């Protein structure tokens, strides 16, 4: 589904593409269905599918999620901040926080789905996908001076993740992107000769197709194109933009990547992660939109107790020959503690009523044959402490 089809290309120029639009109301849909398990449009959230979500799909045979009051509140706020296509808000940084396995990823997926259905342009990133995986390539420099001096690159690129990000943008927003002119004048934009963001995205995808020609040059150029698309989205004025990051802390710690000689890389050594190192600066740089990140309540507490350290730390090589930017702990990144200044939406574990709704759902879809009594439902709620994945796993065993 291309959400751009929700927008009319025939509106008078200068009035804004949202002036006469009656957008799909996500808050109305969510309010009507709160407390129910409703299907997620997998095609609109493909790039953010996490293993826990696949586990849910494996257990139930479908991709549904419980619509919760927190989902209604956040989507309602985002719906209400739009005025003629412009985001009017005092806070453009939002945090989805809560205990481990409480359903933050499901809430993030629902948020992205609803924003895209509402006509927003959404860049959706699952940080762990960038920080863990098989392949990465060097070739990115921090400054032009470093490149001219011929020093070893300090940044690394993930071509597979760049391709997935660009392809997902094209699939979800191809029509919108084709209408949005490029507004920056970076070297990559000049090299691509792109006139629209869609043409810039397609330029990046063509670079991916040429990786076999040169495994040093093209991963770097693809990283440049990914950076350029990110900057264009931040500069976009004609439609509301949301940059959403699930599992945000994965950008600030050890990654699952190692160099050929066995050296471990921190996630900050990946060039793309540096877009998110200063969350409030990123949020404020989005000209017409918001930044949303999800992270556990435990990590939020850690940052709150380490604010001075988080604000003053910087990444330094362990020695003169080290090019991996190894750091001491996940708080050793300048400004990352500022994410705690974002407007926080607490995503708790299931209430007893939500647990009962989930159990009724498992019976309706045939996952279990018996209807759970209130007593047994309360017992399972206490046993799982309202953790959705554990609840489904236990139901599967019945």
Question: What is the per-residue pLDDT across 268-290, written as a single tens digit (0 to 9) for each?
Answer: 778 888 888 888 888 989 999 99
The C-alpha torsion from 122 through 126 and 127 to 128, rounded to 10°, is: -170
Residue 75, C-beta contacts closer than 8 angstroms, at least 6 positions apart: 26, 27, 30, 111, 114, 115
| Cα-to-chain-centroid distance, residue 233 | 14
Element (H, E) at 262: none
- Report the DSSP pairing between strands 93-98 and 289-296: parallel
CA–CA distances in Å: residue 198 to residues 159, 170, 175: 19, 7, 8
pLDDT tens digit at each of 398 positions of the chain = 334 333 333 323 333 444 434 456 788 889 999 988 888 988 888 888 877 778 778 777 788 888 998 899 888 888 888 766 677 777 788 888 888 888 888 899 999 999 998 889 999 998 888 888 767 776 555 555 655 555 555 578 888 899 999 999 999 998 889 999 999 999 999 999 999 999 999 999 999 999 888 877 888 899 999 999 999 999 998 889 999 999 888 887 778 777 666 777 777 778 888 888 888 888 989 999 999 998 876 665 555 554 444 333 333 333 333 333 333 344 444 455 566 666 777 888 888 888 888 888 877 777 776 777 888 888 888 888 888 878 777 776 66
Burial class of residue 369, CB neighbours in 10 A (0-12, 13-18, 19+)? exposed
> Rounded to two decimals, what is the model's pTM?
0.82
Residue 86, φ and ψ in degrees, nearest 5: -105, 140
CA–CA distances in Å: residue 165 to residues 189, 225, 227, 389: 18, 11, 11, 27
Of 91, 88, 71, the closest CA to residue 338 belongs to: 91
Beta-sheet strands, E only, within 247-395: 254-258, 264-266, 289-296, 343-346
Q: Is 290 in contact with 87 (CB distance < 8 Å)? A: yes
Burial class of residue 194, CB neighbours in 10 A (0-12, 13-18, 19+)? buried
Count of residues for the chain? 398
């Amino acid at each position: 589904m291309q959400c751009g089809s929700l927008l009319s290309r025939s509106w008078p120029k200068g009035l804004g593409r949202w002036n006469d639009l009656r957008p799909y109301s996500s808050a109305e849909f969510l309010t009507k269905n709160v407390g129910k398990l409703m299907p997620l449009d997998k095609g609109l959230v493909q790039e953010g599918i996490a293993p826990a979500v696949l586990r849910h799909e494996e257990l139930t045979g479908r991709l549904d999620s419980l619509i919760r009051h927190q989902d209604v509140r956040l989507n309602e706020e985002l719906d209400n901040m739009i005025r003629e296509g412009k985001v009017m808000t005092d806070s453009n940084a939002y945090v989805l926080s809560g205990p481990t396995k409480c359903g933050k990823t499901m809430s993030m997926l629902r948020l992205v789905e609803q924003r895209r259905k509402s006509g927003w342009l959404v860049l959706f990133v699952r940080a762990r996908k960038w920080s863990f995986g098989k392949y990465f390539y060097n070739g990115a420099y921090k400054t032009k001076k470093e490149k001219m001096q011929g020093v070893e690159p300090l940044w690394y690129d993930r071509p597979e993740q760049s391709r997935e990000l660009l392809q997902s943008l094209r699939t979800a927003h191809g029509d919108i992107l084709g209408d949005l002119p490029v507004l920056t004048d970076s070297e990559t934009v000049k090299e691509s000769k792109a006139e629209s963001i869609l043409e810039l995205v397609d330029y990046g995808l063509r670079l991916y197709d040429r990786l076999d020609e040169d495994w040093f040059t093209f991963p770097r150029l693809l990283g440049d194109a990914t950076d350029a698309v990110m900057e264009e989205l931040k500069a976009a004025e004609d439609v509301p933009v949301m940059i959403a990051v699930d599992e945000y802390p994965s950008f600030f710690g050890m990654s699952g990547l190692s160099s050929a000689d066995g050296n471990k890389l921190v996630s900050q050594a990946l060039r793309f992660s540096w877009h998110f190192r200063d969350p409030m600066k990123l949020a404020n740089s989005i000209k017409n939109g918001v930044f949303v990140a999800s992270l556990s309540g435990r990590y939020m507490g850690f940052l709150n107790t380490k604010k001075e350290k988080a604000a003053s730390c910087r990444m330094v090589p362990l020695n003169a020959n080290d090019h991996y930017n190894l750091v001491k702990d996940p708080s050793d990144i300048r400004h990352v503690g500022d994410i705690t200044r974002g407007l926080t939406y607490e995503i708790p574990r299931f209430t007893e009523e939500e647990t009962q709704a989930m159990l009724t759902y498992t019976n309706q879809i045939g996952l279990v044959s018996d209807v759970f009594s209130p007593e047994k439902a309360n017992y399972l709620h206490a046993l799982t402490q309202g953790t959705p994945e554990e609840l489904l796993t236990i139901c599967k065993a019945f």
